[in-house]
């Protein structure tokens, strides 16, 4: 073995799709961060780290997340944080591409009203 990854791990890493962010999902992250940072900057930092870690892990097996009714290729992931958490909606295309579409706190209204 000539590095930290074995052959199987190198193949799996090469096949894992990348996770991209829509402009709206970036705006959602900034909005969520700013809201928390007003109360506690450290909580805001931890929340963003948890969310971003969860979003990157979606690439491992995106089909395990629940489909969004009425939206082809869309899925939702629940991200636990504190006593509640967040919901990330993403597109998982047949070619494997993943785009984070929206992110909201679980206590917010639907995605059309978030932000």
Q: How many angstroms separate the CA atoms of 73 and 91, rounded? A: 5
Model-level pTM greater than 0.95? no
Q: Express each pLDDT in 66-111 by its tens digit.
A: 999 999 999 999 999 988 999 999 999 988 899 999 999 999 887 6
Indicate if the pLDDT at residue 60 is higher than 60: yes
Domain segments of the chain: what residues?
A: 17-105
Architecture category of domain 17-105 in CATH: 2-Layer Sandwich (3.30)
Strands (E), the chain: 19-21, 66-67, 74-81, 84-92, 98-105
Q: What's the chain's average pLDDT?
A: 85
As to burial, measured by CB atoms within 10 angstroms (0-12 exposed, 13-18 middle, 19+ buried), residue 15 is: exposed
pLDDT of residue 58: 86
Indicate if the pLDDT at residue 112 is higher than 80: no
At residue 7 the predicted structure's pLDDT band, cuts being 50, 70 and 90, is low
């Amino acid at each position: 073995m000539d590095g930290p990854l074995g052959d199987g791990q190198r193949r799996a890493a090469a096949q894992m799709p990348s996770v991209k962010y829509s402009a709206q999902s970036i705006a959602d992250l900034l909005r969520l961060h700013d809201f928390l940072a007003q109360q506690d900057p450290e909580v805001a930092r931890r929340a963003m780290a948890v969310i971003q870690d969860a979003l990157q892990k979606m690439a491992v097996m995106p089909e395990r997340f629940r489909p969004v009714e009425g939206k082809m290729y869309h899925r939702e992931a629940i991200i636990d944080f504190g006593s509640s958490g967040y919901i990330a909606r993403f597109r998982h295309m047949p070619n494997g591409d993943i785009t984070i579409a929206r992110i909201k706190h679980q206590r917010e209204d639907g995605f059309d009203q978030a932000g």
